[in-house]
Structure 1
Amino acid sequence: MPYVFYKRVKAKDVPVAVMSESATFNNVLAPASIRKVYDALRNQGYLLQRVTLSEFTRYILSPEEGLFRELRLVRKYDGKEVVRLIPRSQPVSPYAIALSLSTHAYVSHYSALYLHGLTLNVPKPIYVKSRRTKAKNPPHEAGELTQEQLDSAFSIPARMTRNIYTFDHEGTTHEVYLLEKSAEIDNGITKVPAPHAPSGIAVSGVEKTLVECAVKTNYAGGAGEVLDAFRRARETLKILRMMQLLKNGHYLFPYEKNILFYMDRAGYSEQQKNLVKERSRPDRKGFTTYLEKNMHGRLLDPDIGIYYPQGLESE
């Protein structure tokens, strides 16, 4: 495309400028980030004022320029396609591609366990939480929960999201589980370095990851994987921060018992476990809850008041 850039701009500097701005988005461009790269280059005096966003997009996609190509992500249940732009000549993190599906998204659950080194397994799906389009229901008032309601909720299989996207990248087909989170401001999110992600990967922090995995073990490889993660986090886990994040979640069910079970089986000290007990809701202590949904061959821990799958024993 002739005359996209000012003549005073050296030709060799143009791709550098484009890729420098693209790095802010880990070199994965959605429509909104294409616009931001375009605006940045205009403000820096690279682009001619008459060049439109469409012309700029055609320029960076031009095979002659060799900058970007299209990557298609397909939603499995209805075939809906989402197009992202990725570099032709630079590797890109699959986590960055997955995060581009939603604004304000972060890597969660099993994938977050992997990024934090809390599992030896490499999860095949990539789990990502995205902003909920509608506000979450108001927090449940104390006293709403009954034992019958709790028993019924955990007697059925865990629901799995239908919002699953696939994309082919560097010879591998990836699946992205796009989960919803609250529309409220989120805490407990951090960034970690990752290969081919110059801006880092947004991920739930260790404490938030363990809370979310304790709540939804079906997205974390099961209770055994969550228990192993608690073992690996034992020396560094910030328990008070974890309990504050649990409180902020306004969960109806007494998931503090799930956390206490994992800590007990993972060999945490009595002092550490007391931090959980002291911050457990008094109105939930009398309930008997469940570590997972739809368990078979379950056992009861009467001290904590929780059913758990056979095989989850102490160290």
Structure 2
Amino acid sequence: MIPSYVFYKKLNKDNVVDEVMAESAVFNNVLNQTVIKSIYKTLNEKRLLLQRTTLTDFRNYLSSSETDLFEEISITCKKDGKTTTRLVTRHKEVSPYAIALSLAPHTYASHYSALYLQNLTLNIPKPIYVKKKATRPKAMPEPEKLSQAQLEKTFAVPAKTTNSIYTFRYKGVTREVYLLEKSATVDNGITRISAPHAPAGIAISGVEKTLIECVLKPNYAGGAQEVLNAFYAAKDRLKILRMMQLLEEGRYSLPYGKNILFYMDRAGYSERQKDLVRQRMSPATQELITYLEKNMHNPALDANIGIYYPERIAVQ
């Protein structure tokens, strides 16, 4: 049974709503069980809740049709059909990115979603791409031990797609979320930006990290052409040394510096800017010929950089 009143009577109805909604806004008005516990604890510390009010009482209060504050939405995993729920505010619109980011702790918007939120693409991607902390550290081979044969074998197969795909329906629109694992060994390069219907802002990869992640996984960014367009759009904002620092910190075994150099060259960056990339590239991989995307058919070769690329890619 839902308690008719869980707050101390010294607070009137408006005070109650204001307190709940102020705490909810800290979490972009998307509440999972962890967030509900956090709000419950905060209100208890402020001595706003009656002592007999349990966490279950409080959750029932939030989702009650009597209070009319929150509605419940379901998020379904496409792989196994398992469903989890979130509470979202009824009377304020909620960002679908905030709902997607609630799937796991320490997540941030990445790839095509980050390109869109960072104004690096004119397209509005339908899926939402977010990254979470890896469940286990990934072993990174030393770049010095990489051979041309290993490189060719790696890029000959199709790009992998995550099985962690979720769907939810909100405001009559069904959204698809790709929940990706972080590939870098460190968590640098993440920022928070303002976004509509997200009062606390959206956690997102910064411009430099966004471009790196799109270079690594162009299949999550609309393909190589979209990545090239993003490099062109970022020309006045991109901090090249910062980008190369993040690339080095990621300890990637493949020579992605050449991919970055290719995009910068095709997007019309200056020789001085491209030299900043060349100077930070591993000498051990300089002689290797790499690939812009996986599983390319009849690619063209840029002999100056040493990289195969899709012949269809258009120069800005």
TM-score by length of 2: 0.97
Residue pair 1:109, 1:219 contacting (<8 A) in 2 also: yes
Answer yes or no: is 1:116 the counterpart of 2:109: no
In structure 2, the residue matched to 1:160 is 161
Residue pair 2:290, 2:306 contacting (<8 A) in 1 also: yes
The within-5 A match list for 1:206-285 is 206-285=207-286
Amino acid at match of 1:7: K
- Higher alpha-carbon deviation: 48-57 or 305-314: 305-314
Residue pair 2:224, 2:293 contacting (<8 A) in 1 also: yes
Could you say what secondary structure the match of 1:143 adopts? helix
1:71-106 deviation digits (Å, cap 9, x = unpaired):
100011110111111112211000000000010000
Pick one of 14, 17, 20 that aligns with 1:18.
20
**TM-fit CA distance, 1:236:** 1.4
Residues matched between the structures, number: 314
Residue pair 1:133, 1:183 contacting (<8 A) in 2 also: no
Amino acid at match of 1:310: E
Pick one of 80, 84, 96 that aligns with 2:98.
96
Inter-partner Cα distance in structure 1 for 2:162 and 2:252: 19
Inter-partner Cα distance in structure 2 for 1:42 and 1:164: 36
Amino acid at match of 1:106: Y
Inter-partner Cα distance in structure 1 for 2:292 and 2:128: 23
Residue pair 1:131, 1:183 contacting (<8 A) in 2 also: no
Gaps of 5+ in 2: none
In structure 2, the residue matched to 1:141 is 142
RMSD: 1.1
Pick one of 44, 51, 55 that aligns with 1:49.
51
TM-score by length of 1: 0.97
**TM-fit CA distance, 1:153:** 0.8
Residue pair 1:29, 1:86 contacting (<8 A) in 2 also: yes
Distance change >3 Å, CA 183–CA 247, structure 1 → 2? closer
Could you say what secondary structure the match of 2:194 adopts? strand
Residue pair 2:184, 2:250 contacting (<8 A) in 1 also: no
Could you say what secondary structure the match of 2:227 adopts? helix
Amino acid at match of 1:70: E
**TM-fit CA distance, 1:296:** 1.5
Could you say what secondary structure the match of 2:31 adopts? coil
Give identity over the alignment, percent: 58
Inter-partner Cα distance in structure 2 for 1:188 and 1:134: 20
Inter-partner Cα distance in structure 2 for 1:52 and 1:185: 39
Inter-partner Cα distance in structure 2 for 1:214 and 1:190: 19
